Amino acid sequence: MRIECIAIGTELLTTRRLDTNSVWLGERLAGLGLAFHRKTAVGDSREDLGEAFREALKRSDLILTTGGLGPTFDDFTKELFAEILHADLVEDAASRADMLAFYAARNRVPPQVNFKQALIPVGAEPLRNPVGTAPGVWWQDPPGHPGVRIVMMPGVPREMKTMWEGQVEPRLRSLAGRPVHTLRMVVCGVPESNLDERTREVRERHGHLDWTILANLTQVELLARGPEPRALESARLDFEPVLGEDLASVGDGNLEDAILGRLKARGETLAVAESMSGGLLASRLTAIPGASAAFLGGATAYTMAAKAALLGLDPAWLAQVGTVSEPCAVAMAEAARQRLGATWALAIAGNAGPGAEGGAPVGAVFIALAGPAGTQVRAPKMAGDRAEIQLRSAAQALDLLRRSLGNG
């Protein structure tokens, strides 16, 4: 089955808006043993969308679109596709009722312009939208194209995902091939080229699997895909000794999931004290459901006054040692651990730019981990812009804790 995706929206061509929908859809397709052979993004232009749609009709069996179902002037996916396929649009009574109910629940009345969202091409089925007002469309065997399936979904990620899970995936399941399973191993603290070399021999031994190495700023993912769960499990067992403690997690999770899981298993707790990372450590941890079982909280002690007020550090002493210094990071971690009564506390002090700060150059970072057996410090020098330095500092701090927790 040839499958393609058309993401619709000028913002995908001209702004910083990333097309995350099609990435999510690609993963869901893999779970069904299916894959895109192409993804296209076009603007809110009848000419460009019409051309992309006509081409897709010629070569693909399943066409997934996202976007252009809203109420505004630049939303015309359904209208244009119906016109190209010479189909009329009719109002779907259930979709109109859904829309009225959606607004009524919010004590509002839909603007007149919204009612165009309830129009559906004749011969197609509406896909209800339980979390928004734009219904989607499932159009099987459209006029002149037997065997083709067109699925139009909203561009709002939550609406698209809910519609896919509840209504599109169940319809596709009968068409699907053998599901493809994925083994995902997250490695921290190792450059991609090193990992490539170190794992080549084991990857070749498991050469019947599809291998991908994906590096980003803070971690490297090793992905293997194949139809046989047992083959993936055997690959995992061969990789574990090769990766050793550089293997941060296996499966869907990341560093923070691994840490919270290990803390919970050990009945231990964590606090943080953040200066330069400004809340990033805390927000990565609290993004995980159930984080409060092990993460207690912490101080975003961004200024000297905050380091004094929240952590009890002495401003005169801080002025002497400097707020971007190893003693400061150590004192922050130890104060957070003691004040919150945590087993472990992580602290980050550093300068992410834009300018030098109290004598510390941009990229100077001090990471401290206070724990039952004392306090460890790392002092990496980091390149990159402000966001990169903040992200990489938070990741290195979490990785320091992960290595200290071991696999126990």
Using only C-alpha atoms, the chain has a radius of gyration, in whole angstroms, of: 26
Is 26 an interacting residue with respect to its own copies (CB under 8 A)?
yes
Stretch that binds its own copies, among 118-126, 146-154, 169-177, 269-277 (CB under 8 A): 269-277
Residues 87 to 146: which contact its own copies by CB under 8 A?
110-111, 113-114, 131
Please provide residue 169's backbone torsions phi and psi, each rounded to the nearest 5 degrees: -60, -45
Between 199 and 238, how does the x/- string for binding to its own copies read (CB under 8 A)?
-------------xxxx-----x-x-x-------------
Stretch that binds its own copies, among 9-17, 80-88, 90-98, 256-264 (CB under 8 A): 9-17
| Helix residue ranges per DSSP H, 123-278 | 157-163, 169-172, 192-205, 229-243, 255-266
Residues 362 to 401: which contact its own copies by CB under 8 A?
383-388, 390
Nearest residue to 270 via CA among 189, 349, 372: 372
Is 189 an interacting residue with respect to its own copies (CB under 8 A)?
no
- Of the pair 123, 279, the CB lying nearest its own copies is at 279
- Of the pair 14, 407, the CB lying nearest its own copies is at 14
Quick one: residue 384, left, alpha or beta (phi over 0 = left, psi -120 to 50 = alpha)?
Answer: left
DSSP code string of 142-165 = -TT-TT-EEEEE-SSHHHHHHHII
Options 8, 19, 129, 236; binder of its own copies; rule CB under 8 A: 19
C-beta of residue 138 within 8 angstroms of C-beta of residue 125: yes
Please provide residue 64's backbone torsions phi and psi, each rounded to the nearest 5 degrees: -105, 130
Between 324 and 363, how does the x/- string for binding to its own copies read (CB under 8 A)?
---------------xxx-----------xx---------
C-beta of residue 153 within 8 angstroms of C-beta of residue 162: no
Task: Please tell me whether the peptide bond between 354 and the residue prior to it is cis, using omega within 30 degrees of 0.
Answer: yes
Stretch that binds its own copies, among 119-127, 231-239, 258-266, 306-314 (CB under 8 A): 306-314
User: CA-to-CA distance for 34 and 25, rounded, in angstroms?
Assistant: 10
Options 96, 227, 268, 302; binder of its own copies; rule CB under 8 A: 302
Q: Closest distance between its own copies and the C-beta of residue 360, in Å?
A: 13
Options 31, 37, 144, 179; binder of its own copies; rule CB under 8 A: 37
Between 271 and 300, how does the x/- string for binding to its own copies read (CB under 8 A)?
xx-x-xxxxxxxx-xxx-xxxx--xxxxxx
- Of the pair 124, 396, the CB lying nearest its own copies is at 396
Options 71, 166, 327, 380; binder of its own copies; rule CB under 8 A: 71
Q: Closest distance between its own copies and the C-beta of residue 171, in Å?
A: 22
Is 51 an interacting residue with respect to its own copies (CB under 8 A)?
yes
To 10 degrees, the CA torsion angle through 123, 124, 125, 126?
Answer: -130
Is 320 an interacting residue with respect to its own copies (CB under 8 A)?
no
DSSP code string of 84-104 = HTT--EEE-HHHHHHHHHHHH
